[in-house]
Structure 1
């Protein structure tokens, strides 16, 4: 535990790793000596919260800010000594979390956070209801007192289960008409791209192109705005071998390589794909660059736009092959062109943005395995895993603090949880949703969420400490007030 000495308006630390006399921070604000002391404590709290609490650091920051704000506001006005002493002790009880051990901090964190969150959520609900009340007061038709109370009483009677169903139907799920319109538009683009490639590169051995992704699997939420155009490459089985990442120098379980074999019997040039060989391996980057020139830079997009009665244009400036489609009505649609290799149940994709900086590495897609397993589990027990997943995806997409959580961590979270709890019936929707929140908090605390099919893959990699803090704080708040996630 840190032992701090306030000396000459500076904090000196005798904690391990920081020598005595080492200057940590200079605090020079406040109008009186008392305020300087408070400033020192609070600035120390703000500077060291993440070190002490990890994910919960953001929660302590919020608590400290509230407490100090009250202290400073009370210092500027006169009040009864008894009330001042009582309120000061309450504020300093919250601030005492800083000097406690990490274990006691975690025990006291939840109760303190929930007390403030409950108050904030109530005021937030009142603010959200205020515009509706003002709107109803402006209506010319008079409203009886009993009728005006119905919405409020109905809202209070709704259980978490009811609110989740309401959120799913109004916020998460897409209507069949919207999905059909997006699929039809994506299929038109697929047909045009495939016809163009067969015309300009007739000797390129390609399979039948198809659409893929969450739009086709009924897992897309909020808006139907993205899909994948899968371009299957046909390799000669006797000339190529797919090698797992663990067997190569890459050692990454999701980074595979495609090796050219039997060169002594079938020399280079026997296969069409030999032109993309780099060091004996099929180069993912070379193939993507070829498709970028053959499709993105060559197709007549203005002509295609006039044919389909919508704006179609390539999204330039990145490694991903992506098209933007803007129809006359509805949301814009983004289509990613993804070359794929299939062998049995293994699906490798050429996505340079996922395998950077290895030019010859291919990405092992776990998406087919995850969606297949999810569908099998729900079909076996008529469960609500897909509903929970789509609700969580919508919550993360609509909440800025949770937006870094992509679909992959959420679906793997539910698959892990399905091994622990077997009851996923309709009546357990709220319980499973709350349990997912708790499980996410635990994974964020550890900083590791392993893949269901590849335990060596951490699905939380790439997230910054600030993002983890914000997500952890939001989920802590949602434990006692799930409504903050369902707005």
Structure 2
């Protein structure tokens, strides 16, 4: 009862402060920029908590929170010192960001929060819309917004398979000298990960390399010392003349050039294939992307829109390398090591072992990032790897804990962005943020901070 009275009193005292805080936060980003607004947000939340406590009588719980008070003071000092810094600052405790600590974390019973509707007259309460808890909102969003219907998923899979068959037949007829293995479904369709209503998927195109003529060189052994970028070197040039392998014409400096392979396939994809005719036959519109360093098809169906990435791939033993470029790739003969299959398989195994919600959590985060323009540039691999890292630290992923795990994933992401380094789960030397610019990291930090402090606004249909 004492805790409920404190919450009511805090709520009344918050009316005046709340309007000032809302005005400051609404205009802070224009004046202070992304990093400054984030810092102001943390500081104002801390100040509101201090004002509430000053206006309320002390109790036993406040004595137990002296350590947390110290953290709040540190947060305030940090906000004052670095509010002009572009970096997004973060404290390790969730209470520093104004989020209540769960019962599992404290070991103490937590009273039910007093909703705003309980203070309203009975007539107004009847007219008020139903308010979901965060747990209920997440489950509702997962069912109706983030996921795809079974009918849409089946239709999308059939369409991608039909496009894959047409593309594979054309490549074999057009380039019989280039030994490609059978194309494979990639992305969520190929791994059974949950997909959204407007999702990216992929088609891998394996190149058949002669094992005695080509050798994979790990990224840390190259002159660039980039763990995620490998090289494929041509061997035995003194004994086997150039031209002994059909892939020799794609060499640059003695290495198989991923960019040259992509550019050659792009010319075929854009200039040789009659996509309007194929689209008419499949009852959709297919348009190849014009950018020469990207192999993508935009597919528009009556029920959905899909982007299909075509990824040339080379593999040896357990190593899978993709010819997938991004603007920050330091050279044209680099191949990107992919752990997608391992990540997807482990997430499914973990959820299967404890009836967990890692995959629903991933699906919800995908949906939020897809709908938020400032979060669309966040690589999907970052979400998968953060959940895998967190699974090592937190074992309870059952459905009743979905809300806690959702907030915890966001908090972890913000922390990694603050450091500018997110290690890969299967290779800790790989920084999954390496493809992002500093301003991208700031934008992502601010966007995730908004989702963390006000998740309901991101879960609207």
Q: 1:339 aligns with which of 289, 309, 312?
A: 312
**Superposed CA RMSD:** 3.6
Output the CA distance in 1 between the equivalents of 2:330 and 2:449: 37
- 1:383 is paired with a residue whose SS is coil
Which is worse superposed, 307-316 or 240-249? 307-316
What does residue range 4-43 of structure 1 map to in structure 2 within 5 Å? none
Q: Report the equivalent of 2:273.
A: 299
Q: Report the equivalent of 2:133.
A: 159
Contact 1:240 1:258 (8 Å CA) reproduced: yes
Q: 1:429 aligns with which of 389, 394, 402?
A: 402
Output the CA distance in 2 between the equivalents of 1:365 and 1:461: 15
Deviation at 1:347, TM superposition (A): 0.9
Q: 1:209 aligns with which of 183, 189, 193?
A: 183
Output the CA distance in 2 between the equivalents of 1:457 and 1:322: 26
Q: Report the equivalent of 1:440.
A: 413
Deviation at 1:294, TM superposition (A): 2.9
Output the CA distance in 1 between the equivalents of 2:158 and 2:143: 23
Q: Report the equivalent of 2:145.
A: 171
Output the CA distance in 1 between the equivalents of 2:252 and 2:446: 47
Contact 1:225 1:331 (8 Å CA) reproduced: no
Q: Report the equivalent of 1:29.
A: none
Q: Report the equivalent of 1:369.
A: 342
Q: Report the equivalent of 2:372.
A: 399
Q: 1:227 aligns with which of 156, 178, 201?
A: 201
What does residue range 2-401 of structure 1 map to in structure 2 within 5 Å? 57-60=36-39, 100-101=80-81, 149=125, 152=128, 154-155=130-131, 158-219=132-193, 221-327=195-301, 329-353=302-326, 356-401=329-374
Deviation at 1:256, TM superposition (A): 0.8
Deviation at 1:234, TM superposition (A): 0.7
Deviation at 1:340, TM superposition (A): 0.6
Deviation at 1:339, TM superposition (A): 0.9
Q: 1:449 aligns with which of 422, 425, 428?
A: 422
Q: Which has the higher contact order (CA 8 A, sep 6+)?
A: 2
1:51-96: CA deviation from partner (whole Å, max 9, x where unpaired)? xxxx85223456999xxxxxxxxxxxxxxxxxxxxxxxxxxxxxx9
1:110-130: CA deviation from partner (whole Å, max 9, x where unpaired)? 999869xxxxxxxxx99xxxx
TM-score under structure 1 length normalisation: 0.69
Q: Report the equivalent of 2:6.
A: none
Cα separation, partners in 2 of 1:271 and 1:382, compared to 1, 3 Å: same
Contact 2:90 2:414 (8 Å CA) reproduced: no
Contact 1:58 1:470 (8 Å CA) reproduced: no
Deviation at 1:357, TM superposition (A): 4.0
In the alignment, structure 1 residue 459 sits paired with structure 2 residue 435:
no
- 2:173 is paired with a residue whose SS is helix
Contact 2:276 2:286 (8 Å CA) reproduced: yes
Q: Report the equivalent of 2:73.
A: none
- 1:459 is paired with a residue whose SS is coil
Which is worse superposed, 304-313 or 318-327? 304-313
Output the CA distance in 1 between the equivalents of 2:239 and 2:414: 56
1:190-228: CA deviation from partner (whole Å, max 9, x where unpaired)? 111111111122232111112211233343544244321
- 2:326 is paired with a residue whose SS is helix
TM-score under structure 2 length normalisation: 0.72
Deviation at 1:372, TM superposition (A): 1.8
Cα separation, partners in 2 of 1:353 and 1:411, compared to 1, 3 Å: same
- 1:436 is paired with a residue whose SS is helix
Deviation at 1:440, TM superposition (A): 2.0
Cα separation, partners in 2 of 1:285 and 1:106, compared to 1, 3 Å: closer
1:145-166: CA deviation from partner (whole Å, max 9, x where unpaired)? 97x85574742xx332222111
Task: Give structure 1 stretches of 5+ with no counterpart.
Answer: 1-44, 66-95, 116-124, 127-144
Output the CA distance in 2 between the equivalents of 1:110 and 1:382: 26
Output the CA distance in 1 between the equivalents of 2:414 and 2:282: 46
Output the CA distance in 2 between the equivalents of 1:377 and 1:175: 24
Deviation at 1:389, TM superposition (A): 1.0
Output the CA distance in 1 between the equivalents of 2:179 and 2:144: 45
- 2:191 is paired with a residue whose SS is coil
Deviation at 1:370, TM superposition (A): 1.4
Cα separation, partners in 2 of 1:196 and 1:461, compared to 1, 3 Å: same
